[in-house]
Amino acid sequence: MTNSMRQQIEGDLHDARGTAKEAEGKLTHDPDLEAEGRAEKVAGIVQKKLGQLEKLIGK
**Residue 4: which pLDDT band, with cuts at 50, 70 and 90?**
confident
Question: What does the alpha-carbon distance between residue 7 and residue 2 come to, in Å, rounded to a whole number?
Answer: 9
Q: How far is CA 24 from the centre of its chain?
A: 16
Give residue-wise pLDDT tens across range 5-55.
899 999 999 999 999 999 999 999 999 999 999 999 999 999 999 989 988
**What pTM did the predictor assign?**
0.83
Q: Radius of gyration of the chain from Cα atoms?
A: 13
Contacts of 49 (CB under 8 A, 6+ apart): 11
